[in-house]
A and B are shown apart, each in its own frame.
Chain A
Amino acid sequence: MNWREFFTKSKKRQYATLPASSSLSTHKAARSESDTVPDGLMEKCKKCGAILYKKELAQNLYVCPKCGYHFPMSAPERFRLTLDGGVYFEYDMDLVSTDPLSFPTYREKLEQTMENVGMTEAVLTGEGTIKGYPVVMAVMDSRFIMGSMGSVVGEKIARAIENARIKHYPLIIFSASGGARMQEGILSLMQMAKTSAALARFEASGGLFISVMTHPTTGGVSASFAMLGDYLFAEPGALIGFAGRRIIEQTIREALPEDFQTAEFLLRHGQLDRVVSRKEMRDVLGRLISIHQQRGWAHGDGAKL
């Protein structure tokens, strides 16, 4: 497949953004509203069964007005609804997988997914502002091969972390992933080490990292960067865990509680700071970043209060 052709011909894209691997540029490009609005007029809530107008659902941040169920959200949509004015500058949109293992049907699967989803990989990275504060953000998209992490996802996230470190911007990662990408084998596993190592450096530089786990965050993603935030948030009802429910049931031969591995379950077991609903997300993020604008007490400050 001709990658450039794919990009220029994509009807969903309003106009091209400048891809920049160095991404130190400060160009910003806005995107229009209609990027990923799904086809069809109505949507059924997976939890309460309510039939909802898609337009209203979108206005309600893809949260069911009846029961509060959080529908999955695409990465571009998340960027637009999280950052001020829906404006962001995208990093590394030119990076694609090379099918390093020559894995059967992987290349076809990638091409097909790119066409269907309108993204080149399972993560979108970039920068913008929240309540006026500049941030580096990465958002995973579960529509792209289960949001799985292969070499490109690992590389884009590592570069985003490095950008946040260089620019002294807070880092926010919204994860949504079934885990490591099987089709890239050991190289996928190594992305866990790569992203975690980048976070270790970021931490040493004093950087702020807010991890928001959305449905689902499991396997190699939950066992690496997603769990390494200074603050760990999750959306209500999000599935978060290391091993899959079916595998656990087969292993221990007992039924698991209904809410096993949900955000609320993790909160109860002391593994999250907060469960944050989508409606309050922007406010919570903004407030948290604003608190970090001011360094707390330092040695020698004396009676600052």
Chain B
Amino acid sequence: MATELSFEKQLKALEQKIQELKAFMKESGIDLTQEITALEEKQKELRTALYENLSPWQKVQIARHMGRPTTLEIAEAILTDFMEFHGDRVYGDDPAMVGGIGFFEGMPVTLIGHQKGRDTKENIARNFGMPHPEGYRKALRLMRQAEKFGRPVITLVNTPGAYPGKAAEERGQSMAIAENLKAMAALTVPIVVVIVGEGASGGALGIGVGNRVLMLEHAWYSVISPEGAAALLWKDASLAEKAAREMRITAQDLLALGVIDEVIPEPLGGAHQDKPAAIQTIKEAIFRHLQDLMKLSAEELVIDRYEKFRRIGAVVSFLELDQS
């Protein structure tokens, strides 16, 4: 199965052993409960140790796991009466970008996000969560609608990037993303962004300009995928693991760099191990931040967002460098 994580081999072996023992106990009637419990303990310990020391590259694998909660799954779970809307009103309906409205804890909100599939077939239908320009334009349309009706906006980011295709260029991929950045900067309703899985390049940022940017514990967010960075920098995509390390793409790195506001913890073993629990934690985090933001006026919201992004970056005057 494509959803197995390569670095979990030892865990998988233990799991198999436990299953075998359980089957044997059932068949033979010999009581092996103690042995099984011991093995399960060991498995948990191993998993905890493994997940406390994940490398950035291992996190990339987890972030790409097909069992990770998708935007539509999260929408259905955290909103009541979720209603999905389609189309950019100009060209088409992008299956890689979804959005709609619903009640979030009794409050009408607009929710938008990249949509990946839960298996290969679905993923192909969803273009692996890689939007075309019409996807960004659908998102923009829904955000403007949210603004008109005073609905806070929640966006969920999970994309390997905007789709690099011929049609996407012809229809203005650059412009579609750029327009979203500008529009989101000026939107007068609260925007909370959650990086759920992968967050690559302008394709992620195209719905990522929020008052708050939250990120799941094992998600990654960067200017480009590790493979892309390796190909560009060292002309060798197989150096992706190195790129993942050097580019500082993990939630923990991004919190330290001041790019995100909070890391949302995941269940042990990743969000796919316990989807409902993961989604519940996401919901609580969004709720907390929305509560804060809803105290702000329209003007304050725009200023808050402006200042958040205006600050990000690392520059220094060489005149100051000399003095130190």
| Chain B positions within 8 Å of A193 at CB level | 181, 185, 205, 208-209, 309, 312
Q: Does B80 contact A (CB under 8 A)?
A: no
Contact with A along B153-177 (1 / 0, CB 8 A): 0000000001111101111111101
Q: Which chain B residues numbered 212 to 265 have a C-beta less than 8 Å away from chain A?
A: 221-224, 228-229, 232-233, 246-249, 254, 257, 259
Kindly name the residue among B174, B183, B309, B319 whose own CB sees the greatest number of chain A CB atoms within 10 A.
B174
A251, B165: Cβ atoms closer than 8 Å:
yes
Q: How far apart sit A97 and B318, CA to CA, in the bound complex (Å)?
A: 9
Question: What's the nearest-Cβ distance from chain B to residue A259, in Å?
Answer: 12
Choice from B170, B171, B309, B318 contacting A96 with Cβ under 8 Å? B318
B316, A98: Cβ atoms closer than 8 Å:
yes
| Chain B positions within 8 Å of A204 at CB level | 186
B314, A223: Cβ atoms closer than 8 Å:
no
Question: What's the nearest-Cβ distance from chain B to residue A102, in Å?
Answer: 9
Contacts A189-B205, A189-B223, A252-B165 given: A197-B314 contact, CB under 8 Å? no
B248, A186: Cβ atoms closer than 8 Å:
yes
Kindly name the residue among A2, A3, A7, A189 whose own CB sees the greatest number of chain B CB atoms within 10 A.
A189
Q: How far apart sit A192 and B186, CA to CA, in the bound complex (Å)?
A: 15
B319, A4: Cβ atoms closer than 8 Å:
yes
Q: How far apart sit A226 and B182, CA to CA, in the bound complex (Å)?
A: 12
Q: Which chain A residues numbered 235 to 276 have a C-beta less than 8 Å away from chain B?
A: 240-244, 247-248, 251-252, 254, 256, 260-261, 269-271
Q: Does B313 contact A (CB under 8 A)?
A: yes
Q: Does A201 contact B (CB under 8 A)?
A: yes
**Total A-B residue pairs with C-beta atoms closer than 8 Å?**
209
A182, B224: Cβ atoms closer than 8 Å:
yes
| Chain A positions within 8 Å of B321 at CB level | 3, 96
B222, A2: Cβ atoms closer than 8 Å:
no
Contact with A along B281-323 (1 / 0, CB 8 A): 0000000000000000000000001100110111111110110
Question: What's the nearest-Cβ distance from chain B to residue A13, in Å?
Answer: 14
Question: What's the nearest-Cβ distance from chain B to residue A247, in Å?
Answer: 5
Choice from A199, A220, A270 contacting B202 with Cβ under 8 Å? A220
Contacts A226-B178, A227-B175, A261-B169 given: A194-B202 contact, CB under 8 Å? no
Q: Does B43 contact A (CB under 8 A)?
A: no
Contacts A103-B246, A200-B182, A271-B175 given: A248-B202 contact, CB under 8 Å? no
Per DSSP, are chain A's interface residues mostly helix, strand or loop, or mixed? helix
Count residues of A near B (Cβ-Cβ below 8 Å): 71
Q: Does A125 contact B (CB under 8 A)?
A: no
Which residues from chain B sit less than 8 Å from chain A, CB to CB?
Answer: 162-166, 168-175, 177-179, 181-183, 185-186, 201-202, 205-206, 208-209, 221-224, 228-229, 232-233, 246-249, 254, 257, 259, 305-306, 309-310, 312-319, 321-322
Known: A190-B309, A226-B174. 17 other contacts (CB 8 A): A95-B318, A180-B223, A182-B223, A186-B223, A189-B202, A189-B223, A192-B202, A192-B205, A193-B185, A193-B209, A197-B306, A203-B182, A220-B202, A223-B173, A227-B172, A248-B169, A254-B166
What are 17 A-B interface contacts by the 8 Å CB criterion? Answer: A96-B315, A96-B317, A180-B201, A181-B223, A182-B232, A185-B248, A190-B309, A190-B313, A193-B209, A194-B312, A197-B182, A201-B185, A223-B173, A223-B202, A242-B173, A242-B174, A269-B171
